[in-house]
Amino acid sequence: MLKGLISFQGRYRILHQTWFAFFLTFVCWFNFAPFAGLIQKELHLSDPQKTTLLICNVALTIPARIIIGMLLDRFGPRITYSFLLMFAVVPCMATAMSHDFNQLVWSRLLMGIVGSGFVIGIRMVSEWFPPKDIGIAQGVYGGWGNFGAFGAEFALPILAVATGFVAGGASNWRLAVAFTGIVAAIYGVIYFNTVQDTPSGKVYKRPKKNGAMEVTSKGSFYAMLLSNFGLIFALGLLAWRLAQPKIHFLSLSQMYIVWIGLLGLYAYQTYQAWRVNKELLTGQKIYSPSERYQFRQVALLEFTYVTNFGSELAAVSMLPIFFETTFSLDHHMASIIASCYPFLNLVSRPSGGLISDKLGSRKWTMTVISVGIGISYLLAYEINGSWALPLAIAVTMLSAYFAQAGCGATYGIVPLIKKEITGQISGNVGAYGNFGGVIYLTILSLTNARTLFATMGIAALVCASLCAFFLKEPKGSFAEDYETNSATAEHALPSSSMLAEEVE
């Protein structure tokens, strides 16, 4: 694997180009966090307003990941990722030009759409790597892409200070934020012109029906409806938060209108799910054993992603403020220290995927890592101003390792459930990561950092117990071929130059 990564040829070139696309979406998505304290002072925002903006940043990623997953399965990762990258310039410029709380809310809600890019690369990587290597490949994609959060928290404050002369000597956060969107849009054009969806000779599998996820049993259908409601609930929670008196964004009547709209959306989702699965529900279609999958397994992976990626979203969003207030640091220094958390993505998420590949059991890898998440966050619960700063950083990095390794382990399983709807499964699981982010950040807004750490720790331990009893090892987890039921040979992979010719 290491030799292939260095070669930058064939499937490894696609992996490099795709993780960098994800990296740029993450830089854009988290370009607000390092400047949260500064923007609060400049635009005279209250503490509740500042925390609400962090929630807005992850909220629309919930429905966006579902929609992106459907578009991905239909149009392929090349087109979908390229246009999402080009779209990123819109919320970045909107944020850079915001002058009050309301404008920031709209810009950060739009930015949440950019955060849905992760699911696209999951499908792209699964098309290019066989099951036996899928854990490490997805780990590299996710980990090196998530490194964009470190890029935002570490590099953007430096860029803002370095260009401060343009803003009369002040930190030029507006230019730094705008710059991230411009770079992403340019790379979107490059990505569109230099990658392809599958190796030559391999067919890109699309779902037979579009509009909702296809399930293979009646029980799975009702489990899917419950899963969909959870995502709608998270959006309703955000609307409630925006209607609080200290926020001044939605009135009570406007909140009810949003809730009615969300119920309408849920009704439409339910209708689409019924339409796609009508033959199953009416007994006209029975799936063969080879075609079946359990939605219960998807639901368990949704929960694991709440506890690992959901907690990562919350931690990355709040750690700059946490270190600034707990240890009385300058906001630039606090942001740089907090970047230790996302920095570990460079190795931790790939290691989670690698362990999943090499241990021989993806189920027990997931279970053990979830236990580590729980214990490390409960240790973080004890951090206070009397701690030595290096010790606090060490505990933070320990929790970062387990949370990010858990992300890699989760997506070492996701692409193995049902190939042709990998985009939709990835979208659902990914959306629950954002569900976790919304729930955790809402808890933070109502309580404090210690309560948040305790909640994330306990949730992870509950998740570990459920994985131990109910998570199943996917069929073909360690197959040598790209498809578990075919013999697609790796020698069919074209060279880098051949890929370029075919794309053109």
Phi-psi region of 393 (alpha: psi -120 to 50; beta: other; left: phi over 0): alpha
* Cα atoms in the Cβ-side hemisphere of radius 13 Å centred on 28: 39
pLDDT tens digit sequence for 319-345 = 988 998 999 988 778 888 888 888 888
The closest alpha carbon to 88, from 173, 27, 10, belongs to: 27
User: Which pLDDT band holds residue 354 (cuts at 50, 70, 90)?
Assistant: confident
pLDDT tens digit sequence for 186-227 = 999 999 999 999 898 888 887 777 778 889 999 999 999 999
- Residue 479's pLDDT is 59
Virtual torsion, Cα 73, 311, 474, 198, nearest 10 deg: 30
- Residue 162's pLDDT is 85
Q: What is the DSSP string of 330-397?
A: -HHHHHHHHTHHHHGGGTHHHHHHHHHHHHS-HHHHHHHHHHHHHHHHHHHTT--TTS-HHHHHHHHH
How far is Cα 36 from Cα 171, in angstroms, rounded to an integer?
12
- Residue 503's pLDDT is 33
The residue among 25 and 500 whose pLDDT is bigger is 25
pLDDT tens digit sequence for 251-282 = 999 999 999 999 999 999 999 999 999 999 99
Instruction: Tell me the mean pLDDT in the region 305-324.
Output: 90
How far is Cα 260 from Cα 264, in angstroms, rounded to an integer?
6
Q: Is the pLDDT of residue 501 over 80?
A: no
Phi-psi region of 283 (alpha: psi -120 to 50; beta: other; left: phi over 0): left
CB 30 within 8 A of CB 149: yes
Q: From the CB of residue 152, how many other CB atoms can be counted at a distance below 10 Å?
A: 27
- Residue 500's pLDDT is 36
How far is Cα 69 from Cα 75, in angstroms, rounded to an integer?
10
- The distance from CA 358 to its chain's CA centroid, rounded to whole angstroms, is 24
The closest alpha carbon to 412, from 461, 351, 468, 465, belongs to: 351
* Cα atoms in the Cβ-side hemisphere of radius 13 Å centred on 445: 27
The residue among 246 and 403 whose pLDDT is bigger is 403
- Residue 481's pLDDT is 61
How far is Cα 352 from Cα 403, in angstroms, rounded to an integer?
9
How far is Cα 65 from Cα 114, in angstroms, rounded to an integer?
9
The closest alpha carbon to 155, from 176, 181, 134, belongs to: 176
Q: How far is CA 469 from CA 217, 365, 418, 490, 504, in A?
A: 21, 13, 22, 36, 50
- Residue 369's pLDDT is 96
User: Which pLDDT band holds residue 436 (cuts at 50, 70, 90)?
Assistant: very high
- Residue 498's pLDDT is 36
CB 89 within 8 A of CB 182: yes
What is the chain's Cα-based Rg?
22
pLDDT tens digit sequence for 160-191 = 888 876 655 566 889 999 999 999 999 999 99
- Residue 2's pLDDT is 63
User: Which pLDDT band holds residue 371 (cuts at 50, 70, 90)?
Assistant: very high
What pTM was computed for the model? Answer: 0.78
User: Which pLDDT band holds residue 482 (cuts at 50, 70, 90)?
Assistant: low
